[in-house]
Structures are given as structure tokens and as C-alpha cells.
Amino acid sequence: MPANQLPLGLDAALSMAAQSLFQVLETSVQGMMVLDREHRIVWISEGYKRFLPALGFGDEREFVGRRVEEVVPNTLMAQVIETGQPILVDLLTNKAGSFLVSRLPLRNEAGEVIGALGMVLLDHPETTLRPLMQKFAELQQELIETRRQLAAEQARSRRPKHTIASFIGSSPAALELKRQARRAALSDSTVLLLGETGTGKELLAHAIHAASARAAKPLVSVNIAAVPDTLLEAEFFGVAPGAYTGAERKGRAGKFSIADGGTLFLDEIGDMPLALQSKLLRVLQEQEFEPLGSNQVLAVDLRVVAATSRDLAAMVARGEFRADLYYRLNVLPLRVPPLRERMADLEALVETLLEDIARRSGMPHKPLSTEALEWLAAQGWPGNIRELRNVLEQASLMSEEAVLTPACFEACSSFAARARALAAPPRPAPVPAPQAPAPAGLRPLPEVIERVERDAIAQALSLTAGNRMAAARLLQISRASLYERLARWPDLG
């Protein structure tokens, strides 16, 4: 029903209802006060008068008419008037004691705040509500303990799992690598681990962190190849609250924030998209970043260890990897040798891996026969130590023999697949489609381009007396690009 069609007498009924509600509240609560728009106390209930002596007043005439913030310490009544927002339940503590209070704004017919109503619901709630407050204290303590355990669990998950001693081997190649790793651990410079897949680059990253001054701080690992390109930026830099539709309301910390003070291990760095490489370079140079969807610049203190099985120098020459990022990462390069280059470590590796396999599987440890060790040493191991472990685990779990022999390994699926691939007849080369003869005097475009490039490089080398760096500058190409072309035409170099 429209307001102009309300029945006669409704205003009077609402006024009586408000007065009745006010009287009920006055008798139900332990004290009430009413304030005007200027925060002055204009009325207090009979119940409230008993608090006056504790507040330092002997008579209500000294109290009424004063601004509430002058006479009631720690009150928030003024805030209710200024914001128009009620505070339904709150604890107020001052020299008069502790009180459970409620504060409501008062409005006129136009909706404007004209004052506030304050009510003392309970006097000394610590006594009246002792069981509830005790339960609240217990829950708060449980929350604190749960958070402490969660933080401890997260810290344990970020600790290094390996040390330099975990890198098994006493061959010259292994000893040299461990010496370089110890040297690298002494500084905060960026480390670039280079090597084929399965050689133990991640183990070495853990070992370098464990031997560094940052060992007590987090070690955070990111496998770049395993994260979709569209999520990498959020994974690295985090997300500000409400940065995009579906983002968490509280935001999410990125790996750079989590690794602050510690080490960030970037595995498969060669798979990083070009668009993100410039942002990573800025973080490495400036030690600061901006979360996704935020304008706030956050400082970070961390050490980066990167690893790749790809040829970054060749990728730079092809324009697939930023040269400036490559130089920034390639401060302390450590080449992790493949297994075929340190066969002297094979026996120690096999023994360590077999013990770990037995411990994890709960099965008896199976030793290796001399013939089996010789058989393993004769293999090429393109998958390196990861492939070696796979073969040892297959043979240990599938073989009924108490001692592993060459026959146990020859039955492994990985070797059987490789043997089938080697035994398969080679695929016939595709027969090129017949091409129409080129018109007289017209040469194929690739041949023309190659001849022009070759002549330009020969001329540049002649003008610079064979100085390749100067020749690259003359040609306005990178030195790596020049070397790549000279490899195709060795007679020019």
C-alpha cells in the first residue's frame, strides 16, 4: 500500500510501539544512554546512574550534557553517529569495569542520523559469561596451535631433501662437480645447472641450498614445463585480491613471496615463454616484483638456482631465449655429467638405489651379480640415473631370483622397447614429388638467400681481417648467429 494511503492513526500507533519498545529495553538492559548529533549525552536511564561513581561523577547533572568521548573512556558511540553503522555486540572495558554493550544509530524521518542509543547489556561479562569466554579462549588457543603446526609443516615441506653427500660417486667427474657445488653454495650468485634429463640436477639444487647460508629458509621448486603458460605469471608473482573473475578474495602468494629469504629452484628454465622471461629478468636484477592485478611493488630477497636439459646458447642464437636473461642466469654454470661419463660410479649408484628401492617397497634387498653389473655398464643409459633406477626397480619387483642377473634386466620393458626399436627395419625415405623444371636463369629462393649470406659474411671477414666480433657488428647480427653460419661454411672461418 502506498505511503499516502496508510490508514489514519498509523503514525500514532508506530509512536506508541516505539515508546513501548524503548520502555521494554530500559527495564531489560542494565543501562541506557541517548546521544545527539554532536555526541552530547542527552539522557541516561536509572540503571545507568549506578555506573556514574565509577566514572568519576557524583551526580547525573555533571554527566548529562557532556560529549560522550570526554566522560566514557574507550567508547565507540561517536563512531556509530559518524558512520551510521550499528555495533550490535561489543566488549567495553574502562575504569568502571568490563561491559557487554550494544550501540545503535538514531535517524529522523528523512533517514539522517540524529544521534545514537547505547545499551549496557551485561555488567562484568567475564563473570556472567565465564563458560562462554572460557570456550572462546580454548578455541582461540586451538586456532593458534593449528596455525603453528601448519606453519611448521609448510616449513618442513620447503626444507632441502638432499645434501652434497647425497650425490653418489667418487669418479673424477663426480668429485669435481661436488667441489664446484660447494663453492657455489658459498655465494648468493645465480647457479645454472646444465645436463641431460635424469642426471640429478634437482638433487644438486637441494644440495646447494642445504650447504648455503640460506639453508634454514624455504627452498621453493617450480617445474616450468609442468605449469601452463597462462598460469606461470600467477604462479611466480602471486595474485592480488579480486585481480580477475574467479580469483581468491584474499589473494594468493606467488613462489617469489614464498621463497623470500631462501632459494627458488627453476627447473626446465628453457621452457619459459619469451613474454615472461623479461619479467623474470627484472626480478633477478631489481629483487622486486608486482603481484598480478596489483600496483604494489614488493621487495624480495632470494637466490635463484635454474636447471635445463636444453642448449640455451643455441636457443639464444635462434631467438627462442632472451640473451640478457641467459647471461643473468649463466653466472655460475655447473655441468652435471651424464651417467655414461662416470661409469666408475655405477656400482655405488646401483647399491644405493637398490637399498632405497627395498626400503620403499618393503621387499628384501636383492644383490647384483658380477655379470649383471658388467651388463649394466655396457648400456648407453640415455635416460641416465632416472632410467637406471627404473630398470633396477622393475627387475627387483618382477624377478623371482634372489640375485639379479643379466636375464632379469633383459626382460625389463624399457630395454625390450629399445631392442624392438633397434630391430625394426628402417622406414623408407619419402619419395619427393616431381617438380616442374625452373625457367631458365631462375634459381630457387633458398639457394639465392644462402649465396647472399655467404658472400656478405666473406666480405665482412675480409674487411675486418678475420675478426669475427667486428664482422658480426658490421653484419648487424649476433656473434652466435655468425658462428652458426660459419659452422655451415667452414672454409670461410
Please report whether residue 316 resides in a domain. Answer: yes
Hey, what's the cell of 45?
536511564
pLDDT beyond 70 at 338? yes
Report the range of poorest mean pLDDT among 296-310, 328-342, 375-389, 411-425. Answer: 411-425
Q: Are 254 and 234 in contact (CB under 8 A)?
A: yes
Considering the domain architecture, whether residues 324 and 378 belong to the same structural domain is answered as no
Domain assignment of residue 181, yes or no: yes
What pLDDT, on a 0 to 100 scale, did the predictor assign at position 429? 46
Determine whether 403 is exposed, middle or buried from the number of CB atoms within 10 Å of its CB (0-12, 13-18, 19+).
Answer: exposed
Q: Between 346 and 463, whose confidence is greater?
A: 346
pLDDT: is 124 or 188 the higher one? 188
State the average pLDDT over residues 175-196.
Answer: 94
Strand 219-223 and strand 87-94: the pairing is: unpaired
Lowest mean pLDDT among 150-154, 221-225, 226-230, 261-265: 150-154
Rounded to the nearest integer, the mean pLDDT of the chain is 83
The x, y and z cell numbers of residue 478, run together, are 649476433
Output the domain CATH number for residue 202: 3.40.50.300
Mean per-residue pLDDT, 445-462:
80
In this structure, what DSSP letter does residue 444 have? -
User: Is 417's pLDDT higher than 80?
Assistant: no
Please report the pLDDT score of residue 84 as a whole number. 93
For residues 409 and 474, membership in a common domain is answered with: no
412/119: higher pLDDT? 119
Distances (CA, A) of 56 to 62, 63, 96, 330: 10, 9, 9, 74
Q: Kind of pairing, strands 303-308 and 263-267?
A: parallel
Residue numbers of the domain that contains 358: 350-423
Whether residue 258 is found in the same domain as residue 362: no
Considering only 15-19, 169-173, 294-298, which range has the smallest mean pLDDT? 15-19
**CATH at 405:** 1.10.8.60
212 touches 247 (CB < 8 A): no
Query: Is the Cβ–Cβ distance between 81 and 33 less than 8 Å?
Result: no
Indicate if 356 and 465 belong to the same structural domain. Answer: no
DSSP 335-358: E---GGG-GGGHHHHHHHHHHHHH
pLDDT score recorded for residue 159? 76
Say what the pLDDT of residue 415 is: 60
CA–CA gap between residue 54 and residue 51 (Å, rounded): 6
Read off the pLDDT band of 431 (50, 70, 90): very low
Domain count for the chain: 4
- pLDDT band of 3, cuts 50, 70, 90: very low
308 and 361 in a single domain? The answer is: no
Give the β-pairing of 97-107 and 31-36. unpaired
Where residue 100 sits, what CATH number does that domain have?
A: 3.30.450.20
C-alpha to C-alpha distance for 299 and 260, rounded to whole angstroms: 9
HSE-CB of 466 using CA atoms within 13 angstroms = 3
Q: What is the CATH number of the domain that holds 481?
A: 1.10.10
Structure confidence at residue 252 (pLDDT): 81
Residue type, 82: E
**Mean pLDDT value across residues 439-456:** 74
Residue-level pLDDT at 430: 47
The pLDDT assigned to 1 comes to 42
Pairing label, strands 191-194, 303-308: parallel
Question: Higher model confidence: residue 196 or residue 470?
Answer: 196
Decide if pLDDT at 4 tops 90. no
